[in-house]
Chain A
Amino acid sequence: MSIFIQQIINGLSIGSIYALMAVGYSLVYSILNFSNFAHGGVIMLGAYFGLYAVTLVGGLPFLGALAVAALLAGLVAVALEKIAYRPLRKRNAPSLYFIISAMGASIFLENLVIVTIGPTFRTYPQMFSAAPIALGNVTISRIDVLMFAIAAISLAVLMFIIEKTKVGLAIRACSFNTKASNLMGVNVNRVIFIIFLLGGMLAGVAGMLFGMRYTVYPQIGVITNKSFIAAVFGGLGSLPGAVVGSLLLGIIETFGAGYIASTYRDLIAFSLLIIILVIRPSGLMGRVTEDKA
């Protein structure tokens, strides 16, 4: 029984990181209708930004470093939008062109880091006591608690912005119908700027937390493929869907790795993706659309 609870906690902890990454995919998808595969690159940069904020510059405290990572990653995401997507948007290019452009950007970022920083694995310095918290038979590492808490707070802030503020209203309007919102006076370019900024900042947070929990290396972006799966699982374009999908994926993966074999971890995730697409392509909470003639 205690193993069971242990697995759930581990699953939720990795799931909450997936959630931070997955909402970035969903935010962009909800408005621009394409899968932003460059998001992985932003997450990876976030991990490096955090690392340098902690180790260089006199060593910022944890929260300061987190803020730096979030801000810089947000700026990178915005810059990416300006360079790689805006020209396509102006031309009304099909969404697959966006995907290719995103993949190009992702190759660029990953290799730029390999060339400039190097391909080696790096680790964050120890910032918190490694002693786990024991609750009966179940032990929880402090960093897992921290990850979960920060992810929850960040997501709550995002939800607040989207549900309660004027900017959020504009975002929701655009995700419902971009063209009509534009006609009604919503500045679509600004909305897109904001979603890339928000998505990028969350990516920065996720990257830093992930880097602290595991290690930092240029191919970290690969892990984001799984958060993408989580976003599809929950329903692309739906934020609650992305969060629920991520937590579920985290739990399913941990259980699969625990009870079947840890080497099957990734295979389980990708099989899940295909099964979801076959059974219910719109995901748990996605919108179903009908073709118009």
Chain B
Amino acid sequence: MMDLRKVVLRLDNVTKTFGGLTAVSHVSFEVKEGEIFGIIGPNGAGKTTLFNLITAVYKPTEGKIIFMKTVLARAAKRDNLFLQPYQVAQAGVARTFQNIRLFKKLTVYDNVLTACHRSADYGLAASFLPRHIPFTKMVLPWGRKLVRQETQLAAKTEELLKMMGLWEYRDMTAANLPYGLQRKLEIARALALEPKLLLLDEPAAGMNPEETHALLGLIREIRDRFHLTVVIIEHHMDLVMNLCDRIYVLNFGQFLAEGVPYEIQNNKDVVEAYLGKEDDAVC
């Protein structure tokens, strides 16, 4: 059966070496529009390296990474092209981090508000000028655009925080949030970019089973609501198997298997190399 959906992300023979160490070797896959695509593999298999390659934190040693119709990175002998991380983000790829990287000292609200910046386009000069007539709510003529856009940003921030169940925590410092909520805040911040592709790096790490279950529903909900494509790295097998449409298995930086959850669960190589003898890890 042919899959006619558009390809959102394509990795073509991507290799990354650090000095003599090969972290990722000849990885190729395609992610289709609207899919939830899982990447699994033992610790140190190179999963996060893949995310770092897609988001241009690292430059590939070899291969091509294409998002929609944009080439994010191309490393050939004479024909190199690497976007900067911010350009990848502006193109519509948002991510979360395995070792949470929130704006720690800012409030939950400001974390998301900051990330909304791409939805406004008022200039630098306008930022220096007063917006209101002092001690009144009267907007000055040159401040109109800024005030209007800032109001929109505030509304958007409120909507995102309410959807992620973070609204009542909005005045808390991000660093003081419980671990699970910090992960949710990272997702909210990524969504503020209005991305087309969302990369989630172990979103359920540190969550208990109920929270993990709720997260599963939440990821589906945001996928549908924002028409997203999601790539997810995760160790919680029940989450991966229930959530993902397709799964790519990485072992020592190399391709091991690819397929729908059922195929992966019953793939001998995967069970042997990755899951070892811990049968109960597969649900």
Residues in chain A within 8 A of chain B (CB atoms): 290-291, 293
Contact = CB atoms under 8 A, between A and B. Distances in A.
B18 A293 contact: no
Chain B interface, >50% SS class:
mixed
Nearest to B85: A293
Interface size class of B (residues with CB under 8 A): under 10
B121 to A, nearest CB: 29
Contacts of B57: 291, 293
A291 B57 CA distance: 8
A279 B57 CA distance: 22
Contacts of A293: 48, 51-52, 57-58, 97
A290 B97 contact: no
Contacts of B58: 290, 293
Contacts of B97: 293
A290 B18 contact: yes
A292 to B, nearest CB: 9
Contacts of B51: 293
Contacts of A290: 18, 58
B73 to A, nearest CB: 15
B85 to A, nearest CB: 9
A290 B48 CA distance: 15
A229 to B, nearest CB: 30
A290 to B, nearest CB: 7
B45 to A, nearest CB: 16
A108 B48 CA distance: 47
Interface in B126-172: none
A36 B58 CA distance: 32
Given A290-B18, A293-B57, A293-B58, 6 more contacts: A290-B58, A291-B57, A293-B48, A293-B51, A293-B52, A293-B97
Nearest to B51: A293
9 contacts: A290-B18, A290-B58, A291-B57, A293-B48, A293-B51, A293-B52, A293-B57, A293-B58, A293-B97
A147 B57 CA distance: 49
Contacts of B52: 293
A12 B204 CA distance: 61
Interface in B22-77: 48, 51-52, 57-58
A293 B95 CA distance: 12
